Amino acid sequence: MTARRPDGLTAVLLAALLTVWPSGRRIAAQDTSTIDRGVRIGIIYRPGVRPGLVMLPRTGMGLDSVRAIVARDLDYGDRFEVITLPGGDSIRLATSSTAPRGTSTRRSGSGTAATGGAQAGTLNYPLYQALGADFALDITAAGDTTVATLHDIAAAGIRRAVRAKLPRPGDPDFRQAVHRLADQAVQAALGTPGIAATRILFVKDGKVYQIDQDGADQKLVSSTDRQAMSPAWGADGRHFAYMEFQAGKGWLYLQEMATGKRTAVSTTGSALDFTPAFSHDGQTLAFSRATEEGTDLYTINVKNNCCLRRLTVGRFSDNLSPTFSPDGQRMAFVSTRPGLPQIYVMAADGTDQQLFAPFDYGVTGSSNAPEWSPDGQSVAFHRDVAGTLQVFVLDVRTRTVRQLTSVGRNEDPTWAPDSRHLAFVSDRSGYRQLWIIDLDTGRIRPLLQQSGARLPAWSPRLSEAPSTTP
């Protein structure tokens, strides 16, 4: 754990790096932008905004894809300033102990390689501190086990080593296993897990697809040719509900993610049922039902497939798009009772209905598609602003709203399990596709470069059978 290298050597290495550093940057600049790209070191990085994290590069260990996936997960998680080390030379200098064969041999000889923590002692903490890093993540292999070692730079030691037996690259479970490893690294560093092991369901051309949060592994999941809408995750991430047009009605279906097996919700088929939403205990499915009387909210117990219950009686107004608070006590929804659709809230049994997101009568446009954040503090929705839609967030406690987007048309926000990222539909690039925004930093990235994707639903954290040991 402690640095065994003589202080003199450290000083020499640091000096060597500093001398090489400017030339490294110059070469990079002369070369192409590929090396220089993404470099945020020292003055570019604003210390204190986000902790800096450096991914330790290693060559020849066959974990390049793992390292690349994890690095991207950490970047997309927006919790770290991910520091990319430029140029191979400076890296070797920076992590001198990993390169020379002599060091490696000595480490093996000491018998600590099996624990995966041996290289800890050789890490040059002052150097990384100088680079603005608070954490360093080292991914290595020990036999068939992949070890992610998180170094705490300031404390000059290992915070935690996470081990996982990863499937082979190419295995359908490989990427998710790597994502879970990344999430554990985030957990080790910050005490809260990342959102790497999550997926997003969306609708395109009337079919439901899934895609990993990093844009990989897009896959068709709806199992019929009928037109589908409004996918919604079950809280365990193992199944989802969606609506399907069938013989002039709207049917609600439940489908298992793993098997694709689907079953119709028992009371469906008599009317136009749509916008299903699960309670967080998985017991209750709330949905909208359009009949001759208009559209109203209902719930059904999906565990026992019973107990249809009507929550609203709109008569001359419509009530739709329910979303449960995480504690299951309340439900936000859309109501047209003020003339235009606006965001309302009620107790989960349908009592105590009241306006939720404030609006100026005659001024504020239609508000739709609410989704309650997993931490319970916010409700995201979209609102018509000057003829186009923008994403808003309602603060549940203060009941104030703030507008998140302003470029193009932005709609149907859905929360990541960390309650700080939202996926939404935007045409800011010229056509409608899915984007992800980080509410803390304002950073926005496209999720997939495909036209026509809509109605996204972000999964909870997806766990598999535990494949890691503490």
* Contact residues: another protein, CB under 8 A: 206, 227, 229-230, 245, 248-250, 272, 274-275, 288, 290-292, 294-295, 318, 320-321, 334, 336, 340-341, 366, 368-369, 382, 387, 389, 411-412, 454-455
Quote the least distance from Cβ 234 to another protein, whole Å.
19
CA–CA separation, 237 and 132 (whole Å): 37
Burial (CB < 10 A; 0-12, 13-18, 19+), residue 444, is middle
Of 128 and 274, which CB lies nearer to another protein in the complex structure? 274
State the angle between helix axes of 64-77 and 174-190 in degrees (0 to 180), rounded to the nearest 10.
Answer: 50
Pairing of strands 330-335, 219-220: unpaired
3-state secondary structure of 25: helix
Residue found under tokens 């009605």: 249
Taking the complex as a whole, the smallest distance from the CB of residue 272 to another protein amounts, in Å, to 6
DSSP state of 163: E
Which residue lies nearer to another protein by CB, 232 or 348? 232
* Pairing verdict, β 239-246 and 219-220: unpaired
Q: Are 54 and 95 in contact (CB under 8 A)?
A: no
Write b or e for each residue in 80-104: b if 16 or more Cβ atoms lie within 10 A of its Cβ, otherwise e: bbbbbbbbeebbbbbbbbbbeeebe
Nearer to another protein, 50 or 249 (CB): 249
Nearer to another protein, 55 or 447 (CB): 447
Q: Which of 390, 384, 393, 385 is nearest to 439 (CA)?
A: 393
The answer to whether the CB of 404 falls within 8 A of the CB of 439 is yes
Any residues with CB less than 8 A from the CB of 446 and at least 6 apart, and which?
429, 433, 434, 435, 436
Place of tokens 């008599």: 270
- Beta carbon nearer to another protein, 191 or 387: 387
Radius of gyration of the chain (CA): 25
The residues facing 419 across adjacent strands are: none
Q: How far is CA 263 from the centre of its chain?
A: 28
100 and 31 in contact (C-beta within 8 Å)? no
> Contact, 239 vs 97, CB < 8 A?
no
Give min distance, CB of 292 to another protein, in A. Answer: 6
Nearer to another protein, 167 or 338 (CB): 338
Nearer to another protein, 260 or 452 (CB): 452
87: left (phi over 0), alpha (psi -120 to 50) or beta: left
Nearest to another protein of 85, 453 (CB atom): 453
418 contacts 192 by C-beta, under 8 angstroms? yes
| Closest separation in Å from C-beta 312 to another protein | 12
Cβ(9)–Cβ(121) under 8 Å? Answer: no
- To the nearest 10°, report the CA torsion of 188, 189, 191, 192: -90
Minimum Å gap between C-beta 395 and another protein is 22
Residue 81 C-beta: closest distance to another protein, Å: 37
State the number of CA atoms in the 13 A half-sphere of 116 facing the CB.
22
Query: Which one, 77 or 276, has the nearer CB to another protein?
Result: 276
Bridge partners of residue 263, in order along the sequence = 254
Tell me whether residue 57 or residue 365 sits nearer to another protein (CB atom). 365
> Between residues 194 and 413, which has the closer beta carbon with respect to another protein?
413
Helix (H) or strand (E) holding 170: none
Q: Which two tokens stand for residue 341?
A: 């659709």
CB nearer to another protein: pick between 120 and 297: 297
As measured in angstroms, the least distance from the Cβ of 365 to another protein is 10
